[in-house]
A and B are shown apart, each in its own frame.
Chain A
Amino acid sequence: MNIIVCIKQVPDTAGGVVFNPDGTLNRGAMLTIMNPDDKAGLEAALRLKDQYGAHVTVVTMGLPKAEDVLREAMAMGADEGVLITDRVLGGADTWATSSTIAAGIRNLDYDLIITGRQAIDGDTAQVGPQIAEHLDIPVISYAEEIKLDGDYIIVKRQYEDRYHEVKAKLPCLITALAELNEPRYMTPGGIFDAYDEKKVTVWGRADLKDLDDANIGLNGSPTKIAKASDKVRKGAGEKKADLDPQGACDYIMGKLTEKHVI
């Protein structure tokens, strides 16, 4: 079985966030990590590999330094990596990103594609399902549990107060939640293999077939960012010290009703 896992290098929330003048993120200037939902997706793929045997390819699109996140994934156990990088692909929104990644995936053999639900930088949760649409395969999002049943995949799909068990014929795409599992550590030997033995294939625009220039990069992105900023500190809350417990409850309930919270 061939499994493709789409992963993204995202800013480490422990570090600072740096914006470009056009409102997009300055990814080159920030500390980075593997997006947590994607890491869970990778772990799910590696568990399928451990259980059934599989060839796991990790795919990412980003700056040349995004190769680091592919090496990390290979140090965890992925077999090879594909880096899609080209200046003309920069500034892509979810539409342009999914169009580009889908074009990259068309170059590969796959039975199952796993992406994270969403990246902690954009929080759109759109790229995974859009890739499935571009490739015309079924998508099951918000996976909590993944089982393989012959040519089918059975997924527990998270809902607010319940879950759905969904079955789909392969090939299909699954979006994974960070809660899906506890990702394994890299191993020291895995790290050495990732750099010494395993391969990262780099694709630029010219390597991507069936891809319209109107659908790539900043120009191919229908989303325009009007403004981006750091979180603004909220004002101090209201303090009421002169109320007895009953009075305090009444006051809080009154405020919540006033603001249409309840």
Chain B
Amino acid sequence: MDFSLDKKHALAQQLFKEFAEKEVKPNAQETDETEVFPRANVEKMAKAGFFGITVPKEYGGQGCDPLTYVMAVEEMSKVCGTTGVILSAHSSLCVDPILFWGTEEQKKKYLPDLASGKKLGAFGLTEPGAGTDAQGCQTKAVEDGDSWVLNGSKCFITNGKEAEIYCIIAITDIVEGKRGPQKKFSMFIVEKGTPGFTFGTKEKKMGIRGSSTYELIFQDCRIPKENMLGARGKGFNQAMHTLDGGRIGIAAQALGLGEGAIDCCVNFVKERKQFGKSISAFQNTQFQLADMATRMEAAKHLVYAAAYAKSTKPVYSVEAAKAKLFAAEAAMDVTTKAVQLMGGYGYMRDYDVERMMRDAKITEIYEGTSEVQRMVISGALLK
């Protein structure tokens, strides 16, 4: 069993590293400070083909595998968590469901612009009253002639307002189940600019501050019937499957944040002198760094294994949950330790690690909290 990357993936990693260092890193701090969506990064990534990494060539994509995509998110996140999540949400949460459940017509209509990055994608499941309890969603879609009419709202939507294409979950039917009435959800493609589709307030966040997080509001929003994505009533399962993929992307983001913090920290401790010697000469620094590097290496194996599972297995919920759980908690721990090792400097906004620590926290929360991941993993063990 060979754990090293083959030449193809090693070259892709080299590309993402070089791109991140040259194009993304220089404006990461400003992106965080100003909370302005990094449009320039998006345009450069679009030109480089990063928004269609796993999209087949016939739809204008790059025709690569999930591991390549995961490495892209990892390398962007090493230098800028915001840029990492823009790429992840677009690819995992909008491109993937269209690829999985789109009709040939839908694929031809939406994928080329998404793959080229001409249009950005987003996904709407979470609502003010429905986070982990996704079944609590209230947004409804009612059939009316040759349209569906959407009413309701979605919150905390990544790439909100910046995206052009949204995959939205809404209730389409209520059926009588064993335990009373049961909601049936469906997934829809909604385009920005559709009458009745507007944006609420922009969220102010602790981290990933350049990422555009908005409320989506649907008021008698009429969309064509052919915009239903997948089968009627299957939306909840589709959403869960989409999130399995999304979790691998977020796990890659967490992985990058942790690795990025180690890179910063290693450079710092070699230069910082206390008591007449570099702080890297102290055993506490050495042991902390050893633990940090070991945790991130373990996270990397889980994340890459989950990406591999996505390319080889129809269901990869447990692999994705383990990768996200471990990588997110490792990222939080490692970025916190990096700040501690760097002391007062680490706490200052002039150094990248304080931003990485704030960015890391969200990876334990969005696209399924660490607690949800534990439910998924234990659920599979105890079934």
Q: Which residues of A contact B (CB under 8 A)?
A: 68, 71-72, 75, 185-192, 194-196
Residues on the B chain within 8 Å of A68, using CB: 7, 11
Which residue of B48, B53, B62 contacts A185 across the interface (Cβ within 8 Å)?
Answer: B48
Closest to A185 in B: B48
Contact A186 B15 (CB under 8 A): yes
Closest to A71 in B: B11
> In the complex the two chains form, what is the Cα distance from A72 to B15 in whole Å?
10
5 residue pairs, one from A and one from B, having the closest CB atoms = A189-B62, A187-B49, A195-B8, A188-B62, A188-B64
Closest to B50 in A: A188
Contact A188 B7 (CB under 8 A): no
Residues on the B chain within 8 Å of A72, using CB: 11
Say whether, besides A68-B7, A192-B8, A195-B8, A187 and B48 are in contact (CB < 8 Å). Answer: yes
Q: B153 near A: Cβ within 8 Å? A: no
- Ordered by A's residue number, 12 sampled pairs between the chains whose C-beta atoms are within 8 Å are A68-B7, A71-B7, A185-B18, A187-B48, A188-B53, A188-B62, A189-B53, A189-B63, A189-B64, A191-B12, A192-B8, A195-B8
Closest to B11 in A: A191
Residues on the A chain within 8 Å of B18, using CB: 185
Say whether, besides A68-B7, A187-B49, A192 and B62 are in contact (CB < 8 Å). Answer: yes
> B21 to chain A: closest CB distance in Å?
12
Residues on the A chain within 8 Å of B72, using CB: 188
**CB neighbors of A among B1-46 (8 A):** 7-8, 11-12, 15, 18-19
Residues on the B chain within 8 Å of A191, using CB: 8, 11-12, 15, 64
> A181 to chain B: closest CB distance in Å?
15
> B128 to chain A: closest CB distance in Å?
38
Which residue of B7, B11, B61, B63 contacts A186 across the interface (Cβ within 8 Å)?
Answer: B11
> In the complex the two chains form, what is the Cα distance from A252 to B18 in whole Å?
43
Q: B272 near A: Cβ within 8 Å? A: no
Q: B77 near A: Cβ within 8 Å? A: no
Contact A187 B62 (CB under 8 A): yes
Q: B57 near A: Cβ within 8 Å? A: yes
Residues on the A chain within 8 Å of B57, using CB: 189
Q: B238 near A: Cβ within 8 Å? A: no
Please tell me the number of chain B residues within 8 Å of chain A, measured between CB atoms: 18
Contact with A along B43-79 (1 / 0, CB 8 A): 0000011100100010001111000100010000000
Residues on the A chain within 8 Å of B63, using CB: 189, 192
> B290 to chain A: closest CB distance in Å?
25
Residues on the B chain within 8 Å of A190, using CB: 49
Contact A75 B62 (CB under 8 A): no
> In the complex the two chains form, what is the Cα distance from A71 to B62 in whole Å?
17
> In the complex the two chains form, what is the Cα distance from A124 to B53 in whole Å?
41
> A185 to chain B: closest CB distance in Å?
5
> In the complex the two chains form, what is the Cα distance from A196 to B64 in whole Å?
11
> In the complex the two chains form, what is the Cα distance from A186 to B63 in whole Å?
14
From A72, A75, A185, A196, residue with most partner B Cβ within 10 Å: A185
> In the complex the two chains form, what is the Cα distance from A188 to B91 in whole Å?
14
> A15 to chain B: closest CB distance in Å?
14
> In the complex the two chains form, what is the Cα distance from A186 to B48 in whole Å?
7
> B248 to chain A: closest CB distance in Å?
17
> In the complex the two chains form, what is the Cα distance from A189 to B15 in whole Å?
12
> In the complex the two chains form, what is the Cα distance from A75 to B15 in whole Å?
10
> In the complex the two chains form, what is the Cα distance from A68 to B14 in whole Å?
12
Residues on the B chain within 8 Å of A186, using CB: 11, 15
> A50 to chain B: closest CB distance in Å?
13
Closest to B64 in A: A188
> In the complex the two chains form, what is the Cα distance from A189 to B60 in whole Å?
10
> In the complex the two chains form, what is the Cα distance from A242 to B11 in whole Å?
56
> B136 to chain A: closest CB distance in Å?
38
Given A185-B19, A187-B62, 18 extra CB contacts under 8 A? A71-B11, A185-B15, A185-B18, A185-B48, A186-B15, A187-B49, A188-B49, A188-B50, A188-B62, A189-B57, A189-B62, A190-B49, A191-B8, A191-B64, A192-B8, A192-B63, A194-B11, A195-B11
> In the complex the two chains form, what is the Cα distance from A25 to B64 in whole Å?
37
Residues on the A chain within 8 Å of B19, using CB: 185
Which residue of A71, A75, A188 contacts B68 across the interface (Cβ within 8 Å)?
Answer: A188
> In the complex the two chains form, what is the Cα distance from A192 to B63 in whole Å?
8
Residues on the B chain within 8 Å of A188, using CB: 12, 15, 49-50, 53, 62, 64, 68, 72
Residues on the B chain within 8 Å of A185, using CB: 15, 18-19, 48
> B34 to chain A: closest CB distance in Å?
26
Contact B49 A189 (CB under 8 A): yes
Residues on the A chain within 8 Å of B61, using CB: 189
> In the complex the two chains form, what is the Cα distance from A191 to B53 in whole Å?
11
Residues on the A chain within 8 Å of B15, using CB: 75, 185-186, 188, 191
Residues on the A chain within 8 Å of B68, using CB: 188, 192
Closest to B49 in A: A187
Residues on the B chain within 8 Å of A192, using CB: 8, 62-64, 68
**CB neighbors of A among B224-283 (8 A):** none
> In the complex the two chains form, what is the Cα distance from A192 to B11 in whole Å?
9
> A7 to chain B: closest CB distance in Å?
15
Contact B48 A195 (CB under 8 A): no
> B224 to chain A: closest CB distance in Å?
32
Residues on the A chain within 8 Å of B53, using CB: 188-189
Closest to B115 in A: A189
